[in-house]
Each structure stands twice: as C-alpha cells, then as structure tokens.
Structure 1
Amino acid sequence: MIYLYYDSRTGNVERFINKVIQITGWTAVRIQEDTIITEPGHLVTYTTNFGKVPDKTESFANKFAEILYSVTASGNRNWGRNYAIAAEKISDHYAIPLAMKFELSGTLEDINQFIDIIKNQHYDSKRGSEKLDIA
C-alpha cells in the first residue's frame, strides 16, 4: 500500500490528491496539527507566500522526515524561480528525495507523471534513491 500525506490550503493539492487516489486507490491522509503517522509514505504540499514552506508541512516534515520517501509540491509558475520551491526546501533540509513539482492542481499529465514516479521509480526502493530526484 502506498501512503500519501498532504497539506492543502486553497484546495489545489487536495484536488490533485483526489485525482491520484481515484486512479490508484492509494491511501491519502490530510496533515493536521496533531497528525501522527507510522507508515512510510510520500509528502505532497504547496508553496505559500512566494516561496515559503507552510508551517504545518514544516512541522510534519520535522517530525516524520525519516519515514517520508519523497516530497512533491504545488506552486504557481508566475512566481518564477520560487515556483513550487517548498519541495526543494524540504528536500534539501531533510534529505528527502524530490519527486516533482506541479502547477496549481495539476494537469492529467502531471497526475500520470506523479503516479509513474511513485509507482515505477520509487516503489520498494530505498528512501535515499537518487533515481527519484527527477524534478
């Protein structure tokens, strides 16, 4: 079973996650302040304030980085070099492989790419796999 842990403020990430689970049947858990996880999984979040990691996401990553296989973030290309940069910041700070970035709630192509990355390039591999770092 593949677990996705996500944070969404405007609904973009939640829409992306809902499409992914409709296709795959994977388990998704929305991050709350008191969320506790025991199963390894993949983090999907958003970027806020033109390049900041959301506080709830930061706290979650700080607690559970050791069992997060990858990080993916939503962003807005209008932010230029800060586009979905939360994924890069989390990846760098916690040594979690960067899976991908997508704009807003993602396109069908983004969703399929995410599924492919998680299922075929990561599944059953070790957390530190360099192969996953394709974003």
Structure 2
Amino acid sequence: MNEVVKLLIIYDSLTGNIQRFINKLDMRSTKITTELSINEPFVLITYSTGYGEVPKSIEKFLESNHQYLKGVMGSGNRNWGKFYCGAAEIISKRYDVPLLHKFELSGNAYDIEKIKMEVLNIV
C-alpha cells in the first residue's frame, strides 16, 4: 500500500458532487457523521454553503478534530465567482493548513491526479 492510500480523506457532500469525486479516488475516506471522531492525520474535502461559508457539519467536526487536519480541498461551482470554494479558503486560514486544490463540481481526471500528488507531498 502506498502512502497516498494511507492518509485518510474526510469529506461531506450535500449535492452528491463530492461523493461522486470520492468514488473516483483510490484512497481511504470517511464521510462526516455526528459521531465521527478522528485520531489520525487527515485531509478534508468540503463544499461551501451560502456565500462561500463553511457548512455547519464541517465546523462542528473540526471543533474537536482540527488538530489532525493536514490540508483542505474544496469542491464548488465557478458560477459563484469570488465565493467559489470559499469554505476551503476559510478553513485553510483558520487552521493554518494548506489549501491543496479547488475543483469544480465532481472533478475530472486532472483533479484526481492533482489531489493524489498533493496528498503524497503531505506525508
């Protein structure tokens, strides 16, 4: 098993775009639930709500798990202009972790390879 597969990807998906993206990755992943507690390094993939805001489920999860956060990625729609992937930008600044990548909707082959390379660089 290579290092990319070992690092955990934590995500939440409102419209299904991130879930479809996760299904394309060959990486360990877990969807956020109210009971989820992590005790290992992870990378977060998030969507944005409203005008580039962090979803409540992500905020609540990070309140008690942010110490293991190693990087963040965002999924969004470029039609939102300056608010595109705003949640990922906020999380990156708030927790002082790298913003690894932004991708549109459920991503494409380039996004998958880009994320695997970024995650490998963290390990």
* Superposed pair shares fold, TM > 0.5: yes
Which secondary structure does the structure 1 equivalent of 2:67 belong to? helix
Which secondary structure does the structure 1 equivalent of 2:74 belong to? strand
Amino acid at match of 2:65: F
- Identity among equivalent pairs (%): 42
Q: Which sections of structure 2, spanning at least 5 residues, go unmatched?
A: 1-5
Which secondary structure does the structure 1 equivalent of 2:50 belong to? coil
Whole-angstrom distance in 2 between the partners of 1:50 and 1:110: 23
* Aligned position for 1:100: 101
Contact 1:6 1:29 (8 Å CA) reproduced: yes
Whole-angstrom distance in 2 between the partners of 1:50 and 1:115: 28
Q: Which structure carries more relative contact order (alpha carbon 8 Å, separation 6+)?
A: 2
* Aligned position for 2:122: 122
Q: Which runs of 4+ in 1 moved over 3 A?
A: none
* Aligned position for 2:51: 50
TM-score normalised by L of structure 1: 0.83
Q: 1:11 aligns with which of 11, 16, 20?
A: 16
Q: What CA deviation, in whole Å up to 9, does each residue of 1:59-102 have, x standing for no partner?
A: 11221111011011101100001101110001111212211111
Q: CA deviation at 1:50?
A: 2.8
Q: Which sections of structure 1, spanning at least 5 residues, go unmatched?
A: 124-135
Aligned length: 118
* Aligned position for 1:129: none
Q: CA deviation at 1:109?
A: 0.7
Whole-angstrom distance in 2 between the partners of 1:43 and 1:86: 11
Contact 1:99 1:117 (8 Å CA) reproduced: yes
Whole-angstrom distance in 1 between the partners of 2:66 and 2:99: 13
Whole-angstrom distance in 2 between the partners of 1:62 and 1:94: 11
Whole-angstrom distance in 1 between the partners of 2:74 and 2:11: 9
What RMSD in Å do the two structures reach over aligned CA positions? Answer: 1.0
Whole-angstrom distance in 2 between the partners of 1:92 and 1:45: 14
Q: What CA deviation, in whole Å up to 9, does each residue of 1:28-73 have, x standing for no partner?
A: 0000111111121111111122311110011112211110110111
Amino acid at match of 1:55: K
